[in-house]
Amino acid sequence: MWKISRKTLLQGQTSTSLSSNTKRKAKIAKATVRWSSAKADTTAVPQIPSNADVVIIGGGSAGCHTLYHLAKRGVKAVLLERAKLTAGTTWHTAGLIWRLRPNDVDIELLNNSRNMLMELEADTGYDPGWIQNGGIFIAHTEKRLDEYRRLATVGNALGIENHILGPEETQKLFPLLDPKSFIGALYSPGDGVIDPAMLCTALTRGAVKNGGKVIENCNVTELLVEDTGKGKQLIGVATSYGNIKTKTVVNTTGVWGRDLVHKYGSHLPLIPMKHSYIVSETIPGVRGIPNIRDHDYSTYFRIQGDAICMGGYEPNPILLEPVPDDFHFGLYDLDWTVFDVHLNGAMKLCPSYGDYGVKSTICGPESFTPDHKPLMGPDTQVNGVFHNCGFNSAGMMFGGGCGEQTALWLINGKPDLPMFSFDLRRFTKAQNRNTQWIRERSHESYAKNYSMVFKYDQPLAGRNFQKDPLHEDMLAQYAFMEEKQGWERPGFFMKHKAEVLPYDWYGSYGHKRHNDRAYEDALEGDLKYAEFSEHHKLIGEEALACRNAAVIFNMSYFCKLIMEGPDAQKAADWLFSANTNRDTSKTVYTCVLNNTGGVEADVTVSRLDSGTGAVHDPKFTGQGYYIVAGGASAYYTYATLLAEIREKGFNVSLRDVTADLGVISIQGPHSRDILQRIIDCDLSNENLPPNGTQVTSIKCPTANGKQVGLRLLRVSFVGELGYELHVPKEHCSAVYQSLLAVGKPLGVRNAGYRALYSLSSEKGYHLWSFDLRPDDTPIEAGLGFTCRKNGDYKGKSAIERQRKEGIKKRLVYLTLNEQVPIWGLEGVYRNGEAVGFLRRAEYGYALDKSIGQAYVSRTDGGFINEKYITEGTYEVDILGKRYKAECHLRSPFDPESKRVMGIY
């Protein structure tokens, strides 16, 4: 341990060796607040405008970036800061800029931030303090190095220079490293650091030059909101010095983000925590060398002149209650019992680091969220309020990219990039209101921030938040449960029980770790890069049972909406790209588009006759529609449709009945024979063709022959003969158990979402937010058939323009002959040139091949056609090695879709 005096910690007046062994003691509950001598100047009375196009509240990195990008585009925007610029959390940030992350949208945002920093001085005349000294990720295990090889792969596909290095090569870049303490590294020479004060000065000066306004020492006391027929509408803001009329506010208040809007019924899943780093004495030879991030040792080094700033993410961060409003330029006493883990890692990596003293410590509040991603986009309760906050101590990295996307969102009604993973509508209202859920998930996300990222990893915190009607049935069948948008769903079915237990906080805060590790042990089997999951064979058995016999999928968490009212047909015509004005016996697959033709949702829509009033057969006046969408984006779909309905003024209601109805899907060659034994309708092709629907009932032999009313849809997400039974929640178990019983002689079995996603990818179906996103049009995705020629709908002009002019990217399917796993983000090469990356990747068990979907484009940015695609030779980059791939315009599995029609 290291001897550091309390006086040194608080004032940084003397230096103390890091290498002494005296025990440190501190109390978490009683952190001393350190106040800077810099006080807010309240003597001058600000002159505020009477109106503004946009009011930005909060003068940190997020607010300054948003102002800059709005002003640059001619928007009359005003930034209000209740103290001084950077006074909240921005001023004490470490300011690191890393560009490689396991997500293509993150990489684009980070690269946009970095490119803006490089151009800012030329644009504004002010140096933003950008230093490009490069960044190094350290690997201690082969698995971690495989993760970095994956990052290198997608980085290469997106044009981010990077290099995989050995220990000796890495030490040449950072001489303090012990090359025997690690096995390799990922080097990104374009990374660097930024000075927060210089950056915010450059941004605001540039914004003012373009007509923006910055007003300091001006507190927003209230949002002015009125109730209208379209919900709550922002009409202005009240400040200490008067009101400003505006219809648009951007909340960039960081750790105070939730406090600004909660009184208006809006709840943000955000929690403040203490986040710390220490600054060393002068260390000879470090100036200009790269920054270091050692994920395995939970340590980063940020080069600051001749010193090193060192910090990381610990397993037991200190969670805070709301930060006081007047906490300007404030810090807390550093708690060394929390911070020790970083020192221990730093000393192992760089033994000589311990020879130098600590000049100062930084411990300030930062805002954190349940998935360690920012909260952006339109507020769900107050029209006109937008958010750009909750940056999880990464506001300097994401600030430029997210500020630009926020500006574009306000101006164009949508961002340029697919921002679903940043959009606050990725969480439900129930999640946002549940403090315990937010605390648990935010803690786990913080503690695991440096953990390896795996496609099938699952959270342990905040589980069993929402259970569908078949939850207990699934557990009884030994389902391995996954979590999506708060719901528990079956991933696959095991031979033994492995249930999720209450969160144990990874042993922190006095909690004990669970002795029962069955769930975590099963989860560990999925955490692979270079080899298939340990559950690969088990999932394959489920998938092949669907292809060869029949399986039951529990799809109850799927989004289910009822739209009804006098304008229901008008609303459907505008909202949906396909013709939904069909007979009530038809179900239509369609897209919901934005103004540029991008897909905001893909759904099935059934026109309804007014019925008995049961949840599956609603009674209404006027016209009605039943809308079904994927569960992982359920609230986003609902909020998107509702916002457009209100914007257009349609006289309809939109009700979410997801929790009231279960969905039991039976799929496979034997599905009709099984279902026909207990259902009260004819399942022949003539009576119920593909995409047919009707209200019927089922006789449940396992429930004494009870008759259960339900809505039946003949649809498939896996490319087989199959049916969905939409059942009132109280009857789901009886229906499910009856299907299992009557289907047993014909080989029916359970299957989970892992098999479902494999099957859908193998068939060439789409998964929204992966191979179908708001930056993809139906024409590019091979879904032109969903876009009708007659009548107007949102996004139609963009679709017709593409039909006339052509497209610059096209979705293709790539299969590998070699038995290697793929996970997504692998680079795709055509004739040796990078032309895309895998958006989605699965193993096709019927094809007995890995299969992936990618959007291919030309390296010269020109229009693309089938000839360009089919004449190329393709490779997929997997962990740094390129494998030959066959490219298909359509999936090679059942290309004529005979199986869906029952032709086997």
- The per-residue pLDDT for range 485-510, each reduced to its tens digit, is 999 999 999 999 999 999 999 999 99
Contact 815, 849 (CB under 8 A): yes
pLDDT tens by residue, 797-828: 999 999 999 999 999 999 999 999 999 999 99
- CA–CA distance, 334 with 339 (Å, rounded to integer): 8
Look at residue 17 and tell me whether its pLDDT is greater than 70.
Answer: no
Contact 725, 737 (CB under 8 A): no
Helix, strand, coil shares of the chain, percent, nearest 5, are 30, 30, 45
As a whole-number percent, the residues of the chain with pLDDT over 90 amount to: 94
- CA–CA distance, 314 with 26 (Å, rounded to integer): 16
Kindly report the number of other CB atoms within 10 A of residue 96's CB atom: 22
Look at residue 672 and tell me whether its pLDDT is greater than 90.
Answer: yes
pLDDT tens by residue, 87-108: 999 999 999 999 999 999 999 9
**Of the given ranges (27-36, 129-138, 397-406, 804-813), which has the lowest mean pLDDT?**
27-36
pLDDT reported for residue 575: 98
Q: What is the mean pLDDT of residues 548-553?
A: 98
Q: Where in the chain is the domain with CATH 2.40.30.110?
A: 794-899
- CA–CA distance, 92 with 599 (Å, rounded to integer): 40
Q: Is the dihedral of CA 81, 86, 89, 95 positive or negative?
A: positive
Mean pLDDT of the chain: 94
Categorize the per-residue pLDDT at 170 as very low, low, confident or very high, splitting at 50, 70 and 90: very high
pLDDT tens by residue, 431-440: 999 999 999 9
Look at residue 33 and tell me whether its pLDDT is greater than 70.
Answer: no
pLDDT tens by residue, 124-133: 999 999 999 9
- CA–CA distance, 54 with 38 (Å, rounded to integer): 29
Look at residue 532 and tell me whether its pLDDT is greater than 50.
Answer: yes
**Of the given ranges (227-231, 386-390, 391-395, 588-592), which has the lowest mean pLDDT?**
227-231
pLDDT tens by residue, 336-357: 999 999 999 999 999 999 999 9
As a whole-number percent, the residues of the chain with pLDDT over 70 amount to: 95
Q: Where in the chain is the domain with CATH 3.30.9.10?
A: 131-190+272-363
pLDDT reported for residue 8: 29
pLDDT reported for residue 44: 75
pLDDT tens by residue, 840-879: 999 999 999 999 999 999 999 999 999 999 999 999 999 9
Q: What is the mean pLDDT of residues 267-292?
A: 97
pLDDT reported for residue 229: 75
Q: What is the DSSP string of 480-540?
A: EEEEETTEEEEEEE-SS--PPPPP-GGG-TTPPPPS--HHHHHHHTT--SSS--TTHHHHH
pLDDT reported for residue 43: 59
Q: Which one, of 397, 506, 467, lies nearest residue 729 by Cα?
A: 467
Q: What is the mean pLDDT of residues 529-558?
A: 98
Q: What is the mean pLDDT of residues 215-222?
A: 96
pLDDT reported for residue 230: 76
Look at residue 733 and tell me whether its pLDDT is greater than 70.
Answer: yes
Categorize the per-residue pLDDT at 46 as very low, low, confident or very high, splitting at 50, 70 and 90: confident
DSSP class of 49: -
**Stated pTM of the model:** 0.94
Residue 896: left if φ>0, alpha if ψ -120 to 50, beta else—which one?
alpha
Three-state SS at 818: coil
Categorize the per-residue pLDDT at 10 as very low, low, confident or very high, splitting at 50, 70 and 90: very low
pLDDT tens by residue, 305-345: 999 999 999 999 999 988 999 899 999 999 999 999 999 99
pLDDT reported for residue 228: 84
Q: Where in the chain is the domain with CATH 3.30.1360.120?
A: 661-747
* Domain 661-747 in CATH 3.30.420.280: no
pLDDT tens by residue, 611-666: 999 999 999 998 999 999 999 999 999 999 999 999 999 999 999 999 999 999 99
DSSP class of 632: T
pLDDT tens by residue, 414-462: 999 999 999 999 999 999 999 999 999 999 999 999 999 999 999 999 9
Kindly report the number of other CB atoms within 10 A of residue 800's CB atom: 14
pLDDT reported for residue 32: 33
Q: Which one, of 276, 277, 290, 283, lies nearest residue 354 by Cα?
A: 283
pLDDT reported for residue 30: 29
Look at residue 464 and tell me whether its pLDDT is greater than 60.
Answer: yes
List Cα–Cα distances, 415 to 403, 406, 423, 521, 598, in angstroms. Answer: 10, 7, 11, 40, 11
Look at residue 904 and tell me whether its pLDDT is greater than 50.
Answer: yes
Q: Which one, of 592, 251, 596, 225, lies nearest residue 413 by Cα?
A: 596
Please provide the CATH number assigned to the domain covering 131-190+272-363.
Answer: 3.30.9.10
Homologous superfamily of domain range 794-899: Aminomethyltransferase beta-barrel domains (2.40.30.110)
Please provide the CATH number assigned to the domain covering 559-656.
Answer: 3.30.70.1400
pLDDT reported for residue 11: 31
pLDDT reported for residue 534: 98
